[in-house]
Amino acid sequence: MNTPVIGQPLGRVEGPAKVQGHAQYAADFNQPHQAYAVIVTSSVGLGRITRIDDAVLDMPGMIALISYRNAPRLPYNPHKGGIDPAAGERLHVLQDDRVHFYGQPVAIVVAKTLDQAERAAAAVRITYEKSEPVIELRDSLARAVIPEVGRRPGRLQADKARGDADGALVKAPRAVDVTYEMARENHNPIEPHATVASWNGDRLTVWSKSQFVVNEQQELAAIFGMKPEDVQVICPFIGGAFGTSLRTWPHVTLAAIAAKHVARPVKLVLTRRQMFFATGGRPRTIQRVALGATEEGRLLSLTHEGTGETSRYEQFIEALTAVSQFMYSCQNAQTRYRIVPLDTSTPNHMRGPGEASGIYALECAMDELAYLLRLDPVELRRRNEPTLDESENRPFSSRALTKCFEQAGARFGWSRRNPIPRSMRDGRLLIGWGTAAATYPAIQSPASARARLYADGSADVEAAASDMGPGTYTSMTQVAADALGLSVERVRFRLGRSDFPPTPPHGGSQTMASVGSAVRAACLSAREKAGEAASENGGSFVEATASVARDPAIAQKYSTHAFGAVFVEVSVDPDLGIVRVRRVVGAYDVGRVVNPRLARSQCIGGIVGGIGMALMERTVLDPRDGRPVNAHLADYLVPVNLDIQDLEALFIESDDPYVNPLGVKGLGEIALIGVAPAIANAVFHATGLRVRSLPIRVEDLLHEPEQVQSAGA
């Protein structure tokens, strides 16, 4: 086969299975004699259980009511898995009478049918000794602490500085010093969390929604005190996740507990409301950005301070301030990151974790500085383009951010922008144009894959990866076919089983870089073995397993990141304050693109998520007990088809020989990262109102703007 497979816009190889209903998601794996479990959640935000009424055991179909009173005492052996918070201890479910947050699982009802289980769960009566929870970040800033992991050097280092940022800020001819806030968000994928658990003696099998099946296997083994090989996790398809299924949440353990207790398979599916309680979410953040510059727009000082929420029992941290350490050239820069322990469940990685929140503050501040200087926002960024990563004093493996701005700006028509706020109109509607940069680290983690090449010219390739929608089945098939010299029709790629060769989590934009590199290596090895076997008239197939990791020498020498530039047009109704995103153009420096069709789909999805972050998504907690008051898709707003108009993604030609053997930088996160600040900046251009909190709401825009200056006038 001479035509390269990598780079072709192929359709999804798993598409027919999905549209024909053959693709099985976690809740589809029904087992013989299966029972149904429903979680009973706490109705208080902090306290202790004093009484559980077990009268529901007399209700029709009831099999068991399991609580801390009769649940097994589990060892909960230490396990972090590289995805759980490094500091603190995960929730030990049904192990004591303590309630740490509203919605915590406090009991399980098991019944013969789902309807019977739901009715019984609603009838369970629990009495509590209540305490007053602390759940508001702004009211608790005095309790902020340095995260334990942040005390060490690295990407998540809490305090990092070069030069004298404070002194340079005071002396700077021009400066902005502003605070930005971002609401708590929940992932809300269409497929809810679900687990089907079945015991066979001392062996456990779970069919579970997971972005990290190897970690789920190891976590369950640690919780139950088992050997990992006695736990099997199966997850061939995921119906969206955005990070919410990276961790093994308590419901997985509860399904296994229930199945063991009733000695039969058990299915447990979370409700939409329960997914707001105990499966994480993007943490609420408050950030301060101070920028000092010359009259010509050269940065003299950069300060970025960020505070995020976490639970009291774990320290969730993210790269909230990391981008500001290298994004722009500035000799005097400092970042500071703190977390506030609250009586809530632990937050979790949500698409673009840390970078999406942090770059919102940085890029809005850059826009504010551009207007203060009367300088085009793109030109301000160009004047502060670094020649190397100044935080690490090492070169970028590649960086085409300027090209991203040039190509996306040309496609968008940025040169036609009138820089004066409130100057552009479409009839009675105010029109605003805004822009922002984006970046995300190009991660490659150790990964393994196995390839079998058969005498008939077909191949099977396996890895314990996941596919939550980006097209892992298809892109890995392309990589394998390219390495084997076969057509994609002759290659079968399988994933989603913990007994396949181990891979890192399906998150962090690392799947293609990590798993793809392992697949390539395994296929090249199998092809070489096949050649040797053919010369020796060998057997019917050859098999090769390969493990690949980034060369540490290269990792220490280069700073590896993907980059992007986003341009947005919004319309704002001046009487009603309603914001509509009319069009978005994004250009992305993501290295080699394995499948442009899938890549564009990823970008469109990320942009849609960014629109939600900017204008809609906000989880609201009742200050009395921490109850999410909008834990449903009627009041937790997300973009729908009517909100989406013209979205376009461009890919910058980029050759990066250092990131990994495939030359890919990762694509899952970056398309969301710059969207929210670009929208916020466009809203300011349209209205003259600088809204410094997300989401931007109608009520934020129903007052007169302050006197503003133009950028680039």
pLDDT, tens digit (0-9, with 9 covering 90-100), for 459-475? 999 999 999 999 999 99
Task: Judge whether 249 lies within some domain.
Answer: yes
Nearest residue to 296 (alpha-carbon basis) of 172, 116, 126: 172
The stretch 325-339 carries a mean pLDDT of 98
From CA 52, how far away is CA 492, in angstroms rounded? 52
Non-local (6+) Cβ contacts of 3 within 8 A are none
Query: What is the extent of the structural domain holding 535?
Result: 15-23+445-549
Q: Please determine, for residue 169, whether its predicted confidence score (pLDDT) is greater than 90.
A: yes
How do residues 627-637 score in pLDDT, each as one tens digit?
A: 999 999 999 99
Task: Judge whether 314 lies within some domain.
Answer: no
From CA 359, how far away is CA 570, in angstroms rounded? 20
How do residues 401-420 score in pLDDT, each as one tens digit?
A: 999 999 999 999 999 999 99
Task: Judge whether 605 lies within some domain.
Answer: yes
CATH of the domain at 239: 3.30.365.10
Nearest residue to 603 (alpha-carbon basis) of 542, 651, 556, 637: 651
| pLDDT for res 505 | 97
Residues 542 and 582 in one domain: no
The stretch 65-72 carries a mean pLDDT of 98
Non-local (6+) Cβ contacts of 554 within 8 A are 658
pLDDT band at 531 (very low <50, low <70, confident <90, very high): confident
Residues 54 and 65 in one domain: yes
Sign of the C-alpha dihedral computed for residues 392, 398, 403 and 404 taken in this order:
negative
Contact 193, 244 (CB under 8 A): yes
Residues 451 and 402 in one domain: no
| pLDDT for res 541 | 84
Q: Please determine, for residue 536, whether its predicted confidence score (pLDDT) is greater than 70.
A: no
Contact 325, 158 (CB under 8 A): no
Contact 336, 271 (CB under 8 A): no
Measure Cα distances from 677 to 366, 382, 683 in Å. 10, 18, 10
Q: Please determine, for residue 359, whether its predicted confidence score (pLDDT) is greater than 70.
A: yes
Measure Cα distances from 110 to 32, 36, 59, 259, 264 in Å. 16, 6, 11, 9, 11
From CA 533, how far away is CA 525, in angstroms rounded? 12
How do residues 479-495 score in pLDDT, each as one tens digit?
A: 999 999 999 999 999 99
* 669 catalytically annotated: yes
Count of domains for the chain: 3
DSSP 513: I
Contact 104, 277 (CB under 8 A): yes
The percentage of the chain sitting over the pLDDT mark of 70, rounded to a whole number, equals 98
Contact 255, 195 (CB under 8 A): yes
Contact 624, 42 (CB under 8 A): no
Domain finish residue from 500, 527, 549: 549
From CA 284, how far away is CA 281, in angstroms rounded? 9
The stretch 285-309 carries a mean pLDDT of 98
What angle is formed at CA 504 by the lines to CA 503 and CA 510, rounded to 5 degrees?
A: 115
The stretch 381-399 carries a mean pLDDT of 97
pLDDT band at 569 (very low <50, low <70, confident <90, very high): very high
The two beta strands, 174-182 and 693-694, are: parallel
Sign of the C-alpha dihedral computed for residues 351, 352, 357 and 360 taken in this order:
negative
| pLDDT for res 251 | 98
Total residue length of the chain: 713
| pLDDT for res 1 | 46
Residues 39 and 59 in one domain: yes
Non-local (6+) Cβ contacts of 286 within 8 A are 137, 138, 141, 179, 180, 181, 306, 307
How do residues 209-263 score in pLDDT, each as one tens digit?
A: 999 999 999 999 999 999 999 999 999 999 999 999 999 999 999 999 999 999 9
From CA 242, how far away is CA 281, in angstroms rounded? 10
How do residues 31-43 score in pLDDT, each as one tens digit?
A: 999 999 999 999 9
pLDDT band at 3 (very low <50, low <70, confident <90, very high): confident
What angle is formed at CA 284 by the lines to CA 280 and CA 288, rounded to 5 degrees?
A: 145
pLDDT band at 713 (very low <50, low <70, confident <90, very high): low
Residues 570 and 596 in one domain: yes
Nearest residue to 77 (alpha-carbon basis) of 210, 254, 228, 202: 228
The percentage of the chain sitting over the pLDDT mark of 90, rounded to a whole number, equals 94
Residues 411 and 515 in one domain: no
What angle is formed at CA 86 by the lines to CA 82 and CA 87, rounded to 5 degrees?
A: 165
pLDDT band at 535 (very low <50, low <70, confident <90, very high): low
List 314, 318, 569, 669, catalytic entry: 669
| pLDDT for res 261 | 98
Angle of helix 675-687 relative to helix 596-615, nearest 10 degrees, comes to 50
Task: Judge whether 117 lies within some domain.
Answer: yes
Residues 509 and 572 in one domain: no
Burial class (CB in 10 A: 0-12, 13-18, 19+), 653: exposed
Structure tokens at 226: 């088992």
Residues 103 and 199 in one domain: yes
Task: Judge whether 75 lies within some domain.
Answer: yes
pLDDT band at 540 (very low <50, low <70, confident <90, very high): confident
From CA 275, how far away is CA 709, in angstroms rounded? 45
Nearest residue to 516 (alpha-carbon basis) of 451, 459, 468, 456: 451
The two beta strands, 459-462 and 447-454, are: antiparallel
Residues 505 and 646 in one domain: no
Phi, psi of 608 (to 5 degrees): -60, -45
Task: Judge whether 411 lies within some domain.
Answer: yes
Residues 392 and 457 in one domain: no
Q: Please determine, for residue 457, whether its predicted confidence score (pLDDT) is greater than 60.
A: yes
Task: Judge whether 149 lies within some domain.
Answer: no
| pLDDT for res 705 | 77
Neighbours of 88 (CB within 10 A): 17
Q: Please determine, for residue 708, whether its predicted confidence score (pLDDT) is greater than 60.
A: no
Task: Judge whether 486 lies within some domain.
Answer: yes
Neighbours of 312 (CB within 10 A): 17
| pLDDT-wise least confident of 202-206, 534-538, 578-582 | 534-538
pTM of the model: 0.97
Residues 19 and 48 in one domain: no
Domain finish residue from 261, 276, 291: 276
Domain finish residue from 276, 297, 324: 276
From CA 208, how far away is CA 191, in angstroms rounded? 12
